[in-house]
């Protein structure tokens, strides 16, 4: 969901900075790479949603498939992120990073098959 990133915004400035610093220090590069993708997807979703709310919902299926593809891609990428995150190693004993990526690829293909079918 697009709104989730704002949750710590209610905190004061100082913790946010420390959070940013901790994130920069502790996160491996490939996770940062996924996070950049996530951020991009979130922006895309926000723009589409704003367009839908402010301008028109007319081809509603087109909006739903576009928005659904960003949301779906977001959660699939977030799933990939948590699967390859070294911190979660013990949770995903059966899922190697390569397997996680293959799952991600397959999930995205299926998702986009339905998206294109629904664009109409």
Partner 1 sequence: MPSLAYPVPTDLSPATVKNTASLFRIVTLALISGAAIASRLFSIINFESVIHEFDPWFNYRATRVLASKGFYEFWNWFDPTAWYPLGRVVGGTVYPGLMATSGVIYYLLQALNLPVDIRNICVLLAPGFSAFTAWATYMFTKEMKDESAGLLAAAFIGIAPGYISRSVAGSYDNEAIAIFLLMFTFYLWIKALKLGSALYGTIAAVFYFYMVAAWGGYVFITNMIPVHALVLIFMGRFSHRLYVAYCSWYAIGTLSSMQVPFVGFQPVSTSEHMGALGVFGLLQLVAFANLVRSHVSSQNFQKLLRIAVVAIGALGASAFVFLTYTGKIAPWTGRFYSLWDTGYAKKYIPIIASVSEHQPTAWPSFFMDLQMLMFLFPAGVILCFRELRDEHLFVIIYAVLSSYFAGVMVRLMLTLTPVVCVSAAIALSSLLDVYLNPVEPDEEQDAVAQPAKSGPADAAPSTASSKSTSSTRGIFGIDTRLVVVFNTLWMLSFFVFHCTYVTSTAYSSPSVVLASQGQDGSQHIIDDFREAYYWLRQNTEEDAVVMSWWDYGYQIAGMADRPTLVDNNTWNNTHIATVGKAMSSSEENAYPILRKHDVEYVLVIFGGLIGYSGDDINKFLWMVRIAQGVWPDEIQESNYFTPRGEYRVDENASKTMKESLMYKMSYYRFADLFGGNQAVDRVRNQHAPKNIELGLPRRGVHVRKLDRPYLPSQERGHARAGSEERERL
Task: Give the binding site for partner 1 (CB under 8 A).
Answer: 1, 3-5, 7-8, 10-11, 15, 18-19, 22-23, 26, 60-61, 64-65, 68-69, 71-72, 75-76, 78-80, 82-83, 85, 87-88, 91-92, 94-95, 99-100, 102-104, 106-107, 110-111, 114-115, 117-118
Q: Would you state the structure tokens that stand for residue 21, as one six-digit string?
A: 């610093």
Identify which of residues 47 and 99 has a Cβ nearer to partner 1 in the complex.
99
Identify which of residues 48 and 83 has a Cβ nearer to partner 1 in the complex.
83
**Cα(51)–Cα(46) distance, rounded to whole angstroms?**
8
* Contact partners, residue 107, CB within 8 Å, separation at least 6: 76, 79
* Contact partners, residue 64, CB within 8 Å, separation at least 6: 118
**Cα(52)–Cα(12) distance, rounded to whole angstroms?**
32
Minimum gap (Å) between residue 101 Cβ and partner 1: 10
Minimum gap (Å) between residue 117 Cβ and partner 1: 6
């Amino acid at each position: 969901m697009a709104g989730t990133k704002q949750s710590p915004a209610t905190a004061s400035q100082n913790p946010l900075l420390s959070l940013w610093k901790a994130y920069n220090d502790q996160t491996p590069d490939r996770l940062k790479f996924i996070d950049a993708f996530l951020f991009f997807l979130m922006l895309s979703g926000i723009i589409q949603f704003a367009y839908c709310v402010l301008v028109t919902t007319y081809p509603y299926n087109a909006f739903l498939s576009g928005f659904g593809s960003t949301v779906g891609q977001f959660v699939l990428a977030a799933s990939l992120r948590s699967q390859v995150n070294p911190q979660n190693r013990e949770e995903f004993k059966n899922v190697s990073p390569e397997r996680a990526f293959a799952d991600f690829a397959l999930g995205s293909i299926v998702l986009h098959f339905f998206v294109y079918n629904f664009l109409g």
